[in-house]
Amino acid sequence: MTTNSPSPPGEATVDPRPAPGHTGSRFTRVLGGIVIAGLAVQLLLALVISPRDVVQGDLTRIMYVHVPSAIAAYLAFGVTALGSAVYLWKRSQFWDLAAAASAEIGVLFTAMTLITGSLWGRSTWGTYWVWDARLTSTALLLILFIGYLAVRNIPAERHVRSRRAAIAGLVAFVDVPIVHYSVDWWRSLHQPATLTKLDPEIDGLMLFTLVFSIVVFQALFLWLAVHRFRAEYLAEQLDAEGLEDALAERRAEAHTPAAPTAPTPSAPVAPRSDEDAVPVVSAAPGEGSRS
């Protein structure tokens, strides 16, 4: 499954189905229906049916969005790391796209985790932010994967972008446990462990609500990831098509010889003056609009 496999020109006309105008499919429609129903039940359970906590009162209800978002974020970054590793190993476009799609949703869920967490913190501890180990390492996690998304959006050729993004994703993933451990150690040395001590005897209905919310959010993640994957895939197909058109146009101009694209290495390893020359990066294919 190499990255660039243009379909033969005839195929477009042979395929009888009209191109659907969206990224949905039967799978996503069914899954989407389940997610919407699940979210409705989740809201009902979380806000109405589940009982108040003995210690925190109604505030525990924030837990039912906070914890599922956090778990979805971890799942998303796990998929990104897996996709990055498989891409580096097999060069499969599928896993490259999966890593990209999943990382963006992971960043969304991490941001939501931080915001709901700080709202929870403001209402229980009185401040939006404490230098708590988990909060701090989650913030770093967010920035690490914002960095990954930045690599995903670099203006460069697709294989360059994919390769470097895969490496960035892997390195970020390796960094996460070290960051967590070091921040944990730093804070626990200086202040006693604070933070949510959930009642060991958590109410049965509360536990069910939490588990249900977690499952619904993972399904939501999957649904978003499939759509994001397809959008990314279409964007890449569009880029590839644009490139082919440009090449065809250039070939049509028969009098112009094909322009060489690769820069020729001009100097050996020997020491040289240090003027920072502008590197040659072919701009055309990678510049597709990506927001």
Partner 1 sequence: MWREAALVAGKDLRVEWRSRVVLNQVVPFSVVVLLLFGFALDPDRGFLRQAAPGLYWIAVLLSAMVVVQRSFAVETADGGRDALRATGLDPAALFLGKAAATAAVLVALEIVLAVGVSLLYGVDLTRGLPLLVVSGLLATIGLVAPGMIYGALASGLRVRETLLPLLFLPAVAPVMIGATRAFEAALRQPPSMGEGWRWCGLLGVFAAIYTALGLLIFEPLLEDS
Partner 2 sequence: MNDVWFIVAAYAVTGTALAVYTARLLLKGRQLSRQVPAGRRRWL
Least distance in Å: CB of 108 to partner 1? 18
Q: Which of 9, 200, 260, 279 binds partner 1 (CB under 8 A)?
A: 279
Q: Which of 183, 213, 256, 291 binds partner 1 (CB under 8 A)?
A: 183
Q: Which residues bind partner 2 (CB under 8 A)?
A: 7, 11-15, 17-25, 43, 47, 57-59, 61-62, 65-66, 69, 94, 105, 108, 111-112, 115-116, 119-120, 122-123, 220, 224, 227-228, 230-231, 233-235, 237-238, 240-241, 291
Local structure of 75: helix, strand or coil:
helix
Cβ proximity to partner 2: between 22 and 190 the closer is 22
Give the helix/strand (H/E) hosting 49: none
Least distance in Å: CB of 188 to partner 1? 12
Local structure of 168: helix, strand or coil:
helix
Residue 88 binding target from partner 2, partner 1, none, CB below 5 to 8 Å by type = partner 1
Contact stretch for partner 1 (CB under 8 A) within 21-29, 98-106, 161-169, 247-255: 161-169
Longest distance between any two alpha carbons in the chain, whole Å: 82
Q: Which amino acid is at 141?
A: L
Local structure of 53: helix, strand or coil:
strand
Nearest alpha carbon to residue 218 among 93, 90, 30, 31: 31
Residue 230 binding target from partner 1, partner 2, none, CB below 5 to 8 Å by type = partner 2
Q: Which of 11, 249, 253, 276 binds partner 1 (CB under 8 A)?
A: 276
Token representation of residue 79: 């998929």
Nearest alpha carbon to residue 236 among 101, 103, 80: 101
Local structure of 195: helix, strand or coil:
coil
Q: Does 85 bind partner 1 (CB under 8 A)?
A: no
Token representation of residue 3: 């990255």
